[in-house]
Amino acid sequence: MYATTAMGGNGCRPTAGPSGINIRNSDFLASDTMATTHPPTTEAEWRAAYGLQAERDVPFTTLSGAPVKPLYTAADAPSDPGHPGVYPYTRGIYPSMYRGRLWTMRQFAGFGTAEETNERFHLLLRHGQDGLSTAFDMPSLMGRDSDDPLCLGEVGREGVAVDTLDDVQTLFDGIDVGDVSVSMTINAPAIVMLAFYVAAAEARGIPAERLRGTIQADILKEYIAQKEWCFPVDPAMRLCGDMIEWCSRHMPRWHPISVSGYHIREAGSTAGQELAFTLKDGLTYVEQAVARGLHVDDFAPRLSFFFNAQIDFFEEVAKLRAARRIWARELRETFGARDPRSWRMRFHTQTAGVSLTAQQPLNNIARTAIEALAGVLGGTQSLHTNSFDEALALPTEEAARVALRTQQVIAHETGVTNTIDPLGGSYFVEALTDRLEHEAYDLFSRIDELGGMVEAVKQGFPQREIADAAFELQRAYDSGERILVGVNDFVDDGDEEIPVLRIDPELERKQIGRLQAVRARRDAGEVERTIAELRAQAARAGANLMPALLACARAHATEGEIVRALQDVFGTYRETPVF
Amino acid sequence: MSEPASTSTKKIRVVVAKPGLDGHDRGAKIIARALRDAGMEVIYTGLHQTPEQIVETVIQEDADAVGLSILSGAHMTLVPRIVELLAEQGIDDVVVTVGGTIPSDDIPELKRLGVAEVFTPGSSTQAIVDFIRGAVAAR
């Protein structure tokens, strides 16, 4: 495990130390003797001394497989990282960063019906969380109602069940959505959920322009990684464009998209692929919005991003810094954006779910803390930390609290927020930032050769890259080349049992009851009329669907009814899997 | 020592399936590839399969084994339904395995229903390959 010191017999000449005592190379343990005997003061001297020592038998690569040198010096990082709040923002998008304001602690939550999730929202706000983030169940994410036969067993399991405007009202009961910023993680039917949210706020007297928050809505990454879809690619892209356009006019404080790398990474991509595919997706949305007649500065300031914070600490920090630099350059130079707000990439970070283990789950607290620190040192605007029971189930209250406290410890105890971009200027971090930037541009070129990102997705290019990277990482774990503590090394026979959240199956029946009650008391004629109008608008290329969707929402049409009406016009999607 | 005649030439046929709405397919795809690399004939169903579709595929493909991958928490609804449908169709010699986010408390019940093995996060691909090979040979 530590540097073997058996070199003494291999012709290494003993040297005399300052006190005249012979010192053998076997005394040169990596950790202690450098400073006390003959400290190398020049690179050549270091290199010679290093060369005499054995290295540990491990790959010395990042999690993404990139080789890492034993030492980085000024020669490795010639570029000046610049200043925070100044183009190209490598060191941070704001001049004061956490000196002025900490990142938003925004923990993803949702399960059961809107009532249970509303309770969890209140609990998290009481514990000091300062933004909400909504996890929806699979039926809601896939645009299906809770009583759809395909949804049996799935209601309220991976998130909260939302079928109607009424569910959204209950979800935010007692929460002033004109004041609290709310993120909603939903993609294929995002425009429907946005309509529900806007209509629900409006019913409480809160106009759309006051609403702060984000809807994820990044459909490209669904085809690439998260695999939640309702429609074929082209109409799905149109819906994204409709949201970006409508929000640019009516919701100036809202992020109509959160272009995501998190899921791409969770699916098994490398850091470079996460960076490249995410940014290319973002640039594609910009292209399409400009193509429909919007000026880039009209909407780019409200775009946002979402990255993974994986366990290879420095690679993640570098990735986030490279992301800001690339985005700023592309928006200014390629798209000609003039408003500096268009150049600034603001993003949310989530620690890597897939890095957490079912074995010895308390170890996950350490993993999450390290990953969260990478997100913070990478300059994130908001952060979600996973709970230690992530590999087993949705979080218990205790696990959710520990996850939030982890952020609070980082923010208030570690001192890392005392100065901006503390790792800036680190030879290693700047070299990694440069390398990831180059890797991203290489992938951009390959994607462009395929005809752009939409075409690349249709051809399965990013999907294949991800499957290959995932397989390679698994191979490294299976062979023991890469260690996963508690899983392929440092294994315990008796694993600690921890309490695990169980979703009461009764909640599915309860939700179906709520849904049926809404159907019973609404004006069926109004539903029919608004749905028919939606279909007509959907069939018109160039019609923005938000107004028609708002009308459906106000009429208490269900999510499933709305999505089915759109599918009547757009069709559905079936993946040709690559593995 | 020679192999039993019934396993010496025929490739093991495995259906790898994703039941329900769950879209987490990283593990299923890795397993599908590993089984294929190990010399098995693999049919990957892709996502969003109903229990009926999965059983239909098992029958049509004359599968020796089926691996169900579920990370959505819906396993206690989907797996019993699939096992029930297999029985209804008179299929009693297909090795059924389950992988995914399965709490350890649920494993005994799944096995009682006829699931041969449950592979939770952290399982090695080799362990899965070896298990399927062994379980199919032992039928």
Of A227, A354, A391, the CB nearest to B47: A227
Question: Which position has the higher pLDDT, B122 or A373?
Answer: A373
Structural element, H or E, at residue B66:
strand B65-70
Is A391 close to B101, i.e. CB distance below 8 A?
yes
Question: Is A470 within 8 Å of B26 (Cβ atoms)?
Answer: yes
Q: CA A488, CA A493: separation in Å to the nearest integer?
A: 12
Mean pLDDT across A562-566 = 98
Name, in order, each residue with C-beta under 8 angstroms of A226's C-beta and a sequence gap of 6 or more: A187, A260, A263, A267, B23
Is B73 close to A150, i.e. CB distance below 8 A?
no
pTM across the whole model: 0.91
Interface residues of B toward A, Cβ cutoff 8 Å, are: 20-26, 29-30, 32-34, 44, 46-48, 50, 72-74, 76-78, 101, 103-105, 120-122, 124-126
Ordered structural domains, chain B, with CATH: 10-137 (3.40.50.280)
What pLDDT, on the 0 to 100 scale, is given for residue A578?
84
What pLDDT, on the 0 to 100 scale, is given for residue A539?
98
Q: Domain of A430: which CATH number?
A: 3.20.20.240
Structural element, H or E, at residue A353:
none
ipTM of the complex: 0.92
User: For A249-303, what is each residue's pLDDT tens digit?
Assistant: 999 999 999 999 999 999 999 999 999 999 999 999 999 999 999 999 999 999 9
Whether residue A122 has pLDDT greater than 60 = yes
Among A578, A326, A317, CA closest to A469? A578
Is B73 close to A158, i.e. CB distance below 8 A?
yes
**A228 and chain B in contact, CB less than 8 A:** yes
CB < 8 Å to A497, chain B: 104
CB < 8 Å to B22, chain A: 138
* pLDDT above 70 as % of chain B: 94
Q: CA A94, CA A98: separation in Å to the nearest integer?
A: 9
Question: Which position has the higher pLDDT, A505 or A441?
Answer: A441
DSSP string, A167-202: HHHHHTTT--TTTS-EEEE--TTHHHHHHHHHHHHH
Name, in order, each residue with C-beta under 8 angstroms of B16's C-beta and a sequence gap of 6 or more: B28, B31, B32, B35, B42, B43, B44, B45, B66, B67, B69
Return mean pLDDT, chain A: 92
**A387 and chain B in contact, CB less than 8 A:** no
User: For B55-88, what is each residue's pLDDT tens digit?
Assistant: 999 999 999 999 999 999 899 999 999 999 999 9
Q: CA B76, CA B108: separation in Å to the nearest integer?
A: 12
Please count the CA atoms within 13 angstroms of the CA of B90 that sit on its side-chain side. 0
Give the residue numbers spanning the domain of A428.
Answer: 76-478
Residue in chain A lying closest to B101 (CA): A392
Produce one character per residue of A184-212: b if its CB has 16 or more CB atoms within 10 Å, e if not: bbbbbbbbbbbbbbbbbbeeeebebeebb
Residue A509 domain-assigned (yes or no): no
Mean pLDDT across A71-78 = 90
Neighbours of A405 (CB within 10 A): 16
Whether residue A28 has pLDDT greater than 50 = no
Q: Three-state DSSP class for A431?
A: helix
CB < 8 Å to B26, chain A: 266-268, 354, 470
Residue in chain A lying closest to B120 (CA): A358
Residue in chain B lying closest to A267 (CA): B26
CB < 8 Å to B105, chain A: 500
**Distance from the A158 Cα atom to the nearest Cα atom in chain B, whole angstroms:** 6
Please give the tally of structural domains in chain A.
Answer: 1
pLDDT band at A30, cuts 50/70/90?
Answer: very low
**A490 and chain B in contact, CB less than 8 A:** no
**A478 and chain B in contact, CB less than 8 A:** yes
pLDDT band at A577, cuts 50/70/90?
Answer: confident
What pLDDT, on the 0 to 100 scale, is given for residue A526?
98
DSSP string, A129-173: --SEEEEBPHHHHTT--TT-GGGTTTTTTSSB---SHHHHHHHTT
Interface of A with B in 281-320 (CB under 8 A): none
Alpha helices in A421-505 (DSSP H): 427-449, 453-458, 461-478
Amino acid letter, A362:
L
Sign of the dihedral defined by the CA atoms of residues A558, A562, A567, A568, in that order: positive
Measured in degrees and rounded to the nearest 5, phi and psi for residue A550 equal -60, -40
Q: CA A26, CA A9: separation in Å to the nearest integer?
A: 9
State the residue for tokens 């993404």: A64
Question: Is A261 within 8 Å of A308 (Cβ atoms)?
Answer: yes
Question: How many beta-carbon pairs under 8 angstroms link A with B?
Answer: 97
Among B33, B97, B15, CA closest to A466? B33
Amino acid letter, A22:
N
Residue A43 domain-assigned (yes or no): no
Among A137, A155, A135, A138, CA closest to A146? A155
**Distance from the A468 Cα atom to the nearest Cα atom in chain B, whole angstroms:** 9
What pLDDT, on the 0 to 100 scale, is given for residue B104?
87
Interface of A with B in 410-469 (CB under 8 A): 467
User: For A448-504, what is each residue's pLDDT tens digit?
Assistant: 999 999 999 999 999 999 999 999 999 999 999 999 999 999 999 776 788 888 889
The separation between the first and the last C-alpha atoms of chain B, rounded to the nearest angstrom, is 19
Six token digits for residue A496:
């600690």
Q: CA A350, CA A307: separation in Å to the nearest integer?
A: 7
Residue A163 domain-assigned (yes or no): yes
What pLDDT, on the 0 to 100 scale, is given for residue A497?
80
Among A177, A314, A293, CA closest to A245? A293
Residue A411 domain-assigned (yes or no): yes
**Distance from the A33 Cα atom to the nearest Cα atom in chain B, whole angstroms:** 40
Whether residue A412 has pLDDT greater than 60 = yes
DSSP string, A508-552: HHHHHHHHHHHHHHS-HHHHHHHHHHHHHHHTSTT---HHHHHHH
Of A158, A228, A267, the CB nearest to B26: A267
CB < 8 Å to B34, chain A: 471, 474
Distances (CA, A) of A308 to A260, A269, A350, B58: 9, 11, 5, 37
Pairing of strands A382-384, B13-17: unpaired
User: For A490-501, what is each residue's pLDDT tens digit?
Assistant: 999 776 788 888
pLDDT band at A39, cuts 50/70/90?
Answer: low
Question: Is A6 within 8 Å of A26 (Cβ atoms)?
Answer: yes
Of B26, B104, B126, the CB nearest to A470: B26
What pLDDT, on the 0 to 100 scale, is given for residue A494?
72
What pLDDT, on the 0 to 100 scale, is given for residue A8?
35
**A577 and chain B in contact, CB less than 8 A:** yes
Name, in order, each residue with C-beta under 8 angstroms of B73's C-beta and a sequence gap of 6 or more: A154, A157, A158, A393, A394, A503, B101
* pLDDT above 70 as % of chain A: 93
Question: Is A326 within 8 Å of A279 (Cβ atoms)?
Answer: yes
User: For A190-225, what is each residue's pLDDT tens digit?
Assistant: 999 999 999 999 999 999 999 999 999 999 999 999
How big is the CA angle at A546 (ends A544 and A549), to the nearest 5 degrees? 125
Measured in degrees and rounded to the nearest 5, phi and psi for residue A447 equal -70, -40
Residue A529 domain-assigned (yes or no): no
Whether residue B6 has pLDDT greater than 90 = no
Residue A104 domain-assigned (yes or no): yes
User: For A308-318, what is each residue's pLDDT tens digit?
Assistant: 999 999 999 99
Of B20, B32, B126, the CB nearest to A478: B126
Question: Is A553 within 8 Å of A165 (Cβ atoms)?
Answer: yes
Mean pLDDT across A36-44 = 69
Produce one character per residue of A473-498: b if its CB has 16 or more CB atoms within 10 Å, e if not: bbebbbeeebebebbbeeeeeeeeee
Residue A21 domain-assigned (yes or no): no
Amino acid letter, A313:
F
Mean pLDDT across A505-533 = 97
Residue A130 domain-assigned (yes or no): yes
pLDDT band at A130, cuts 50/70/90?
Answer: confident
What pLDDT, on the 0 to 100 scale, is given for residue A353?
97
Return mean pLDDT, chain B: 93
